């Protein structure tokens, strides 16, 4: 599996799937979630609502898929990262689950390329270095015949530097 690093806006990425750092309501929010719903249009939210009606809220560490509306991707995989409260063991495991479950879902959809934002490192305040290490470890651990490329999309310089070091 090839790993790429980009600094920029995930809504502009042409990949089979982009991942959203959602919340358990699946009904949108700020940060990357807000950007994805704004750029993608109302079809994404419509499908999120349908998922809510079917299965209820999305638990932390889990992932669901919708269409990508007007985005240049085929799918949006919505995963819910943990809020950082300093319980390192528990919250690290939940963040690892986000990456693992998103990749598993991507594989089941036949996705070849998938782009991840830096889940939980915004409003949810997860320490960026630890979050980066967990993300890279989970991706490297995941062996797939389907998923050929993972793109880490960093929005800020700090995350970009962290990932650059981790991937060297």
Catalytic residues: 33
* Separation between Cα atoms, residue 120 and residue 145, nearest integer Å: 28
User: Which residues does residue 151 pair with via DSSP β-bridges, in sequence order?
Assistant: 4, 115
Q: How many residues does the chain have?
A: 168
User: Which residues does residue 113 pair with via DSSP β-bridges, in sequence order?
Assistant: 149
Please report whether residue 46 would count as binding ligand AR6 according to CB under 6 A: no
> Judged by CB under 6 A, which of 1, 3, 6, 35 binds ligand AR6?
35
Residue window 116-135: x/- pattern of binding to ligand AR6, with contact defined by CB under 6 A: -xxxxxxxx-----------
CA-based end-to-end distance of the chain: 15
> Judged by CB under 6 A, which of 4, 46, 156, 165 binds ligand AR6?
156
Residues in touch with ligand AR6 (CB under 6 A):
9-11, 21-23, 29-33, 35, 81, 117-124, 153, 155-156, 159
């Amino acid at each position: 599996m090839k790993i790429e690093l980009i600094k920029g806006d995930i809504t502009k990425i042409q990949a089979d799937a982009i991942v959203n750092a959602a919340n358990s309501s699946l009904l949108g929010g700020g940060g990357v979630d807000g950007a994805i719903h704004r750029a993608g249009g109302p079809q994404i939210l419509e499908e999120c609502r349908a998922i809510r009606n079917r299965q209820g809220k999305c638990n932390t560490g889990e992932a669901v898929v919708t269409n990508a509306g007007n985005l240049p991707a085929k799918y949006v995989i919505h995963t819910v990262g943990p809020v950082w409260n300093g319980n390192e063991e528990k919250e690290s495991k939940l963040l690892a689950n986000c990456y693992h479950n998103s990749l598993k879902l991507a594989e089941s959809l036949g996705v070849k390329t998938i782009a991840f934002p830096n889940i939980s490192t915004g409003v949810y305040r997860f320490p960026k270095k630890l979050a980066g290490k967990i993300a890279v470890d989970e991706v490297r651990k995941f062996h797939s015949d389907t998923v050929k490329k993972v793109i880490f999309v960093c929005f800020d310089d700090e995350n970009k530097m962290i990932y650059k070091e981790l991937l060297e």
